Amino acid sequence: VNDLMLEVRAFQRQYQVAVGMSQLTSRALYERLRNRHVVAITHTHLAEPYLLALEQNAGARRWQSIHVAPGEASKSISQAEAIFEQLAEWQCGRDVLLLALGGGVIGDLTGFVAASYMRGVDFIQVPTTLLAMVDSSVGGKTAVNLKAGKNLVGAFWQPIHVSIDPLTLNTLPKRELSAGLAEVIKYGAIIDAEFFGWLEQHHRQILALEPEALMHAIATSVRIKAEIVARDEFERAERALLNFGHTFGHALEAEAQFSGYLHGEAVAVGMVKAAQLSERLGLAVSVDRERLEHLLLACGLPTREQQHFAPERLAARMLGDKKNLKGEVRCILWNGIGRARLPEPVPLALLEEVWRSAR
């Protein structure tokens, strides 16, 4: 399977996303790390399988690494502060290059630190979860969480390069792999009916980590995201389509106190809810929602709530979503597979009804 090179054109800079088996030891990465002062940010459990190979191939002038604990709790101001202090103690200058090796937690945290340290330094994303490969490592959104909610402090800060090595998925727990697939399916669902059809045919190969199918799924997802980011980096319109299922999903995650669902699982349920709501509004037909449900289920994802939270509370959570304006809930709905619609206001009572129905 050949390596692929995709371009992301953002306001700040244009950069490449390399996708290929053995990217960790690739020439493209070597060229960016050689002779640089590199500080890698990762988890201890990723050091042996991946960090060592990276370091040996890098040819860096100086190489240091910081290990943070796995889990969403590491995406915090206090964790970022500890990294800032460590960088300063190591006398890292503006020429330091940060390297994020891990999932979305590492990527968002490292990006946030890179955006702020010395008013901004270079960073490279080396995503190791499917979710990070197809979503969080591309597009330049970086953030940490507050007690009041997720991703409330952050910046747009683009990496100088993204290096995706699907071989790193070999050690990823299957549940995490499925959660990442939810975002892959989302791309088909919102904008690319042909890709959706391909996923219906090939999801087994992806779950079995067969290189060709995996590469196609990742590369197509990155291409779609890169195209949307190039057209609307700062989410004034089209980029919002990427939130399909997310307003419902966030409500579920929040009600479950961020412990019951993985993000991708909540998004899977959320996409089905968005499809149900679209049906109710006469925008879409049930066949499309059924196809979506079948594919999600086949990929090991939930399509219905596991615990039953009060519909009023779930709807109220949606009102609290930071993407809302003027106290109304704005949802991404669809006209069917591949045809998501720009955000539109939906009455609270209708949202409650959708949460209540078809459990």
Ligand X SMILES: NC(=O)c1ccc[n+]([C@@H]2O[C@H](COP(=O)([O-])OP(=O)(O)OC[C@H]3O[C@@H](n4cnc5c(N)ncnc54)[C@H](O)[C@@H]3O)[C@@H](O)[C@H]2O)c1
End-to-end CA distance of the chain: 42
Q: How many residues bind ligand X (CB under 6 A)?
A: 26
Nearer to ligand X, 43 or 317 (CB): 43
Of residues 42, 128, 220, 247, which one binds ligand X by CB under 6 A? Answer: 128
- Do 103 and 132 meet the contact criterion of CB atoms below 8 Å apart? yes
Reply yes or no on whether 141 is catalytic: yes
Reply yes or no on whether 225 is catalytic: yes
Nearest to 289 by CA among 189, 181, 356: 189
User: Largest Cα–Cα distance in the chain?
Assistant: 61
Nearer to ligand X, 138 or 318 (CB): 138
Of 36-65, which residues contact ligand X (CB under 6 A)? 43, 46
Rounded Cα–Cα distance for residues 46 and 132 (Å): 15
Of residues 153, 172, 209, 297, which one binds ligand X by CB under 6 A? Answer: 172
Of residues 132, 184, 274, 333, which one binds ligand X by CB under 6 A? Answer: 132
Of 72-111, which residues contact ligand X (CB under 6 A)? 72, 75, 102-106, 108
Give min distance, CB of 179 to ligand X, in A: 6
User: Is there binding between residue 171 and ligand X (CB under 6 A)?
Assistant: yes
Rounded Cα–Cα distance for residues 87 and 92 (Å): 5
- Do 175 and 262 meet the contact criterion of CB atoms below 8 Å apart? yes
Of residues 70, 260, 300, 311, which one binds ligand X by CB under 6 A? Answer: 70
Q: DSSP labels for 208-274?
A: TT-HHHHHHHHHHHHHHHHHHHHH-TT-SSGGGGGGTTHHHHHHHHHHTTTTSS-HHHHHHHHHHHH
Nearer to ligand X, 3 or 176 (CB): 176
Q: How far is CA 178 from the centre of its chain?
A: 13
Nearer to ligand X, 102 or 336 (CB): 102
Of residues 16, 151, 205, 324, which one binds ligand X by CB under 6 A? Answer: 151
User: Is there binding between residue 135 and ligand X (CB under 6 A)?
Assistant: yes
SS3 call for 12: coil
Residues in a beta bridge with 8: 15
Of 176-195, which residues contact ligand X (CB under 6 A)? 176
Residue 358's identity, in one-letter code, is A
Q: State the catalytic residue, choosing from 225, 289, 291, 330.
A: 225
Nearest to 293 by CA among 317, 314, 274, 312: 274
Of residues 141, 273, 289, 291, which one binds ligand X by CB under 6 A? Answer: 141
Rg (CA), the chain: 20
Stretch that binds ligand X, among 33-41, 116-124, 131-139, 227-235 (CB under 6 A): 131-139
Q: State the catalytic residue, choosing from 200, 235, 312, 353.
A: 235
Q: DSSP labels for 135-147?
A: IITSS-EEEEEET
Reply yes or no on whether 263 is catalytic: yes
Task: Label residue 84 exposed, middle or buried (CB < 10 Å: 0-12, 13-18, 19+).
Answer: middle
Nearer to ligand X, 72 or 200 (CB): 72
User: Is there binding between residue 288 and ligand X (CB under 6 A)?
Assistant: no
- Do 66 and 57 meet the contact criterion of CB atoms below 8 Å apart? no
User: Is there binding between residue 129 and ligand X (CB under 6 A)?
Assistant: yes
Stretch that binds ligand X, among 55-63, 82-90, 124-132, 270-278 (CB under 6 A): 124-132
Q: State the catalytic residue, choosing from 36, 75, 141, 273.
A: 141
User: Is there binding between residue 136 and ligand X (CB under 6 A)?
Assistant: yes
Q: State the catalytic residue, choosing from 37, 67, 202, 239.
A: 239
Nearest to 314 by CA among 262, 342, 353: 353
Active site positions, annotated: 119, 141, 183, 225, 235, 239, 243, 246, 250, 263
Binding site for ligand X (CB under 6 A): 43, 46, 70, 72, 75, 102-106, 108, 128-129, 131-132, 135-136, 139, 141, 150-151, 168, 171-172, 176, 263
